[in-house]
Amino acid sequence: MAAHENAHGVLDRGRKVTTDRETEPARAHGVNDAERRPVDTPSFEAASDYRRVRLDLIPLRRRDKMPADKRWQERSYDQGEVLERARRDGLNLGVRLPADVVVVDVDPRNFPAGRDSLAELADAFGLPLASAPHVLTGNQSHPGHHFYFRKPAGAVLLDSVEGFEGVEFKSLGRQVVAPGSVHPTGGLYRWAPDSPPLHDMPDLPARLVEAARRPDRPKKQAAGAGELTPEQLAKTLEQLDPCDFGEKQHDRWRDLMMACHFATNGEGRQEFIDWCMGDGDYRGQEWKVGRRWDSLHADRDEAVTTATLQMFLQEVGGGIAPPDAAEDFDVWDEVEPIETRARRRFLNVNDLKALPPPRWLVPGLLVEDSVAAIYGAPESGKSFLALDIAMAVAGGVDWHGRRVTDGGVLYVAAEGASGLGKRVRAWEIDRGIDVGKFPLWLDHGEINLAAERDGGVRAFVSDVVEELGPLRLVVIDTLNQTAAGADENSAKDMGRYIASMKRIRDETGATVVVVHHSGKDPGKGMRGSSSLLGAMDTTVEVIRDKEMRAITVTVHKQKDAEREPPMRFNLERVDLPGEPDWNGRPPSSLVLRPTVMVDAASDFGGEATANGLTALACELGAAGGTVKASELLDAATKRLGMSKSSAQRAVADKIPEGRIDAVRASWDGRHFWLWCERVGKHSTAPKVVHVEAAS
């Protein structure tokens, strides 16, 4: 049989149809089971697919589905080291799922006799299976399926929907086995030949999201709620014989389940299911046990608490297992260590060419997945700039003519949080956009990113990931207010601050921007240790003019692209609804409006567009050789977000009168000479802009 590649570039060696009842539902969805031969060595040719969509790979045990490390949900993994470790020790790999991805895990063994739960689910909710990236699990006798979908990051789902036995939903806090791993039965997890690429995940239908949405858990007031970790529960249950809680002792089993649910605040689901499978009465009924566990999320009866678990333990002379001391430390647990250290992984030229290019978050200004600083003197307008960028990214709105990559934004307002509300309202009025549904969140709690002993950074990052999911941008305003007690001139203290910024970047997938102050000598750049400048991918300086009506924004460092010429913005007043002040003036705030916007750099795959004022003139006049100044002003206000007065000043500043002083400009890869002339001899005669091709 001829081999061919699927969308992930993985060779498939052909397929044969089996007659197992469990494979019939798969064939109904266009999937024939592949020929299966026992294998022992994992294969991870498609591992890079996951990094391209910001999914983390984690090490699993050899020929197993279980994570190799404790507290794997919270660890920060270097993906190169994970892959090297798996290759060296023959480990499987898992995919750690974020809040906005859900895997539909199909186990046909749990389908009711004569039914196809997957087909029924697809029909009931319009589940687009054909367009979902699809992994065939490696179970030799009962093959299953993993289908990848996107979902709203804030929607927390139950693990299953009643009536569709054999279908589970796995998302934040869970992991699934990556293709290339070896199943305990000897089969290989692999991409289905007709699977779309991983980055083309479709959305989980909204009706299914609502049907599977987990009810809000009641706020438990009883002492002990959530006091055990899932790992503690697993060790604790080892002291109990599941056969003593079989079907004939259903009431004892139910009370134990409720006690375990209470003790872990619902997080010990998989550990309880695994323990139940030690009793033959429950074997093969994982789905039913999970459904019973899920039903407790809406149960407000607190009569069964951790005390019930302790009672059962006392009957056998046991007790609650102590927490693992290692959980207090961020260590790397090796499985069957072969070497005392991991080998360094070197990239060859082909690996280097295969690396995905960097992409703009805001063209010409900020790069995705980077750390950056916006700095300036007090009251320079640096926070106005940071918030202006944050609003554009959150709303998917062009940033003064530049197409941003949109997504969730967190603004850590450690300084001046009370004034942000007025600025947001002014931005909303100025843009004419309802910002009520923007995925933008504000945090104004205390955080110390330069503390010696974590300073709450780990808990902060964990809360952000759990509550908000993946983000595009995190703004920290300011460095001084989030580095209490630190010496800004100390490389050691600032090294800890930089490490915290990078941790936030790595865990959230966001570009992390810190707002900082310039030094006493503005010509020397940012205040503090030179290690700050060295660590930043981008630095942006904001200078306010003497009249306090405009700012100049200058990119001083851009690690992966050429720096742009400075950009200039007016700070213009916007009146807000509300009672006037004592002087009879309405409440107001300031917004940024561009005067002259230069072309954005185009190093990153052509994403940036020629959208400066001169480029706009070239575009409008390229066909006929001239463009009316009035038409250029109108286009500048509509396409570049400029006010009419700002556009008039920009034309006067940027495009000279007379052919002898013509300015050279570029658009669409071509070069032009630009100059203005009046149509008529009178000083008030209208102007036209001449656009002449340059050799």
Model pLDDT for residues 549-576, shown as the tens digit of each residue: 889 898 889 887 777 778 888 899 999 8
pLDDT digits (tens, 9 = 90+) for 59-81: 988 888 888 887 777 777 877 78
pLDDT digits (tens, 9 = 90+) for 424-474: 999 999 888 999 999 999 998 888 898 876 667 888 888 898 888 889 999
Q: Beta-strand (E) ranges in 297-414?
A: 360-362, 366-367, 371-376, 409-413
pLDDT reported for residue 344: 63
Cβ pair 430, 476 in contact under 8 A = no
Q: How far apart are CA 114 and CA 164, in angstroms?
A: 13
Q: How far apart are CA 222 and CA 514, in angstroms?
A: 41
Give the pLDDT band of residue 102 (cuts 50, 70, 90): very high
pLDDT reported for residue 335: 40
Residue 302 has pLDDT above 60, yes or no: no
Residue 599 has pLDDT above 80, yes or no: no
What is the side-by-side order of every strand in the sheet holding 56-59?
56-59, 93-96, 175-177
| Span 646-650, average pLDDT | 76
Give the pLDDT band of residue 668 (cuts 50, 70, 90): low
Of the chain, the percentage scoring pLDDT greater than 90 comes to 20
One-letter amino acid at 176 equals: V
Cβ pair 237, 256 in contact under 8 A = no
Cβ pair 545, 405 in contact under 8 A = no
The token pair at 127 is: 């589940």
pLDDT reported for residue 28: 45
pLDDT digits (tens, 9 = 90+) for 522-541: 777 899 888 888 899 999 99
The residue to which tokens 């190093």 are assigned: 603
| Span 668-672, average pLDDT | 74
Q: Beta-strand (E) ranges in 378-481?
A: 409-413, 440-443, 473-477
Higher pLDDT, residue 298 or 470: 470
pLDDT reported for residue 607: 33
- Sign of the alpha-carbon torsion through 578, 579, 580, 582: negative
**Residue 636, Cβ density class (10 Å: 0-12 exposed, 13-18 middle, ≥19 buried):** buried
Q: Is 317 helix (H, G, I), strand (E, B) or coil?
A: coil
pLDDT digits (tens, 9 = 90+) for 327-350: 444 444 444 443 444 456 677 887
- Cβ count within 10 A of residue 578: 11
**Residue 367, Cβ density class (10 Å: 0-12 exposed, 13-18 middle, ≥19 buried):** buried
Q: How far apart are CA 681 and CA 684, in angstroms?
A: 8
Distances (CA, A) of 18 to 30, 34, 105, 143, 181: 14, 9, 21, 11, 22
pLDDT reported for residue 643: 66
Classify the phi-psi angles of 413: left when phi > 0, otherwise alpha if psi is within -120 to 50, otherwise beta: beta
The residues, any chain, with a CB within 8 Å of residue 101's CB and separated by 6 or more, are: 55, 148, 149, 150, 151, 171, 201
Residue 49 has pLDDT above 60, yes or no: yes
Q: Whole-prediction pTM value?
A: 0.45
Cβ pair 165, 119 in contact under 8 A = no
pLDDT reported for residue 123: 94
